[in-house]
Amino acid sequence: MIIVDNVIQDSKVLKKFSDAQLWTDCDNDTTLDGPRKVVQTNTETGTKLKDAWEFISFYLYDIPSLDLPSYGATEIEYWANVLSPRAELEWHQDKREDLMIESGTLVHPLVGVIWYGYPHEVLGGYLEIKNHSDRQEEVERIQPVYNRAVVFDPTQWHRVAPIVEGERFGFQLNLW
């Protein structure tokens, strides 16, 4: 796992993503079982990107400290979640939802990334990841800190812990 705080240094980029409506629109446009957005990682420089979310997908992909190109992915799947105390995200593994529904085939992404790109104040809402050792199961808890990126193995069971107060804004990438 890689955790990078203050991952984006460009104040113009951070300002663009400080618009709560932008996040809400992306969240409303996606669901757990689709439709999520997918772009090719080999998009040529200078190609017109459709929206701010494609832009930030490639921006995060190119940050050296996250080392995302080393996974050899050909696609980036992305979506956003805005979660309030009334919402929950239970234990799950990331997978190709369409294949699971159609044929029961379990296919996982190469790596997952979460970026907390909205200046939120939230109590709770930790990313919890189950780590299995030889004899016990441990749960790692990562606080949803503004401008933090978390790179992790999406085959591990993970969830968003209950939110006590505030809203949690998260942007997710899966590399395929």
The domain segmentation of the chain, as residue ranges, is 2-175
Q: How many degrees, rounded to 5, is the angle at CA 172 between CA 156 and CA 127? A: 50
Of 76-80, 116-120, 139-143, the range with the lowest mean pLDDT is 76-80
Residue 48 confidence (pLDDT): 60
What region does 125 belong to: left with phi over 0, alpha with psi -120 to 50, or beta?
left
Say yes or no: domain 2-175 is CATH 2.60.120.620: yes
Taking 70 as the threshold, does the pLDDT of residue 34 lie above it?
no
> Model-level pTM?
0.88
Average pLDDT over residues 96-123: 90
Picking from 43, 34, 10, 14, the residue whose alpha carbon sits closest to that of residue 115 is 14
Confidence class for position 120, pLDDT limits 50, 70, 90: very high
Residue 137: pLDDT band by 50, 70, 90 thresholds?
confident
